[in-house]
Amino acid sequence: MDHPDARRRFLSRLSERLGKSRGESAPPEGEAREEKLTEEERISRFLRNLSLLGGRGIRVQGREALRRQLMEDIDREGGSPLVLWKDPLLEEVTADLPGVERILWDSGRDSAAQVRDAARAAAGLVRAEWGVASTGSLVLRSGNDRGRSVSLLPPVLFAVLRRQDVVSETRGVWARLGEKVPACINWITGPSRSADIEGDLSIGVHGPYRVVVYLLE
């Protein structure tokens, strides 16, 4: 299925029913920005917007620097037990961390027990598939060894994101997904925020109250 063409056809039919015309000659604004932004501009915008949301983004040069920074932040945030996706990079950088109880999300284990482990963890560690510069969002693919509970239940979320996986706009994510859309994609835009009818804002009610992103360079 050609998602861009299908989207254009759908929007054209909708415009016709509303009695409006829809031009097709100019590319959408987001696509134009995607082409013009350099990689460094995308990264700077992503980090700035993440900060405005209340998250923290840190550039790290290589795996050893990632390990050191993660250990520092675990100490800062009280992030033990640490629950993490079963991922070679994450397992490597968390191996033998002093004083840290490490819990792997493993599809071979009982699912209820894994959820209980994630609920008691002080922090979760995941790998983000993409980062979106325009919104400061992280995009996570869920799967057998990539449980959603790891990013939702602990009060602190640590996420590793490669610099080359930062895109300008959300449309860049859909273009990279193509036809192979997974059953679940999580979009995380800063720490969890909830407000009641009076507008009183609470942080961390429906997800982590702190989000730390390691931009791996």
Q: Is the pTM above the cut of 0.85?
A: no
- Is the CB of residue 2 less than 8 Å from the CB of residue 178? no
Euclidean distance between CA atoms 137 and 185, whole angstroms:
12
Domain boundaries, the chain: 1-36, 37-216
What is the Cα Rg of the chain in Å?
19
Crossing angle (nearest 10°) for helices 170-177 and 3-17: 130
Euclidean distance between CA atoms 76 and 74, whole angstroms:
5
Euclidean distance between CA atoms 56 and 12, whole angstroms:
40
Euclidean distance between CA atoms 152 and 154, whole angstroms:
6
Euclidean distance between CA atoms 151 and 160, whole angstroms:
12
Q: What is the pLDDT of residues 85-97, one digit of tens each?
A: 999 999 999 998 9
What's residue 30's pLDDT?
43
Q: How far is CA 188 from the centre of its chain?
A: 5
Over its length of 217 residues, how does the chain's per-residue pLDDT go in tens digits?
Answer: 455 667 677 767 666 766 655 444 344 444 444 557 899 999 999 999 999 999 999 999 999 999 999 999 999 998 899 999 999 999 999 998 999 999 999 989 999 999 999 999 999 999 999 999 999 999 999 888 999 999 999 999 999 999 999 999 999 998 888 777 777 889 999 886 565 555 555 554 556 889 999 999 9
Residues in the chain: 217
What's residue 99's pLDDT?
93
- Cα-Cα-Cα-Cα torsion 178, 182, 187, 192, nearest 10 degrees, comes to 180
Which CATH number, 1.10.760.10, 3.40.50.10420, 3.30.390.30, 1.10.3720.10, labels domain 37-216?
3.40.50.10420
Q: What is the pLDDT of residues 139-176, one digit of tens each?
A: 999 888 999 999 999 999 999 999 999 999 999 998 88
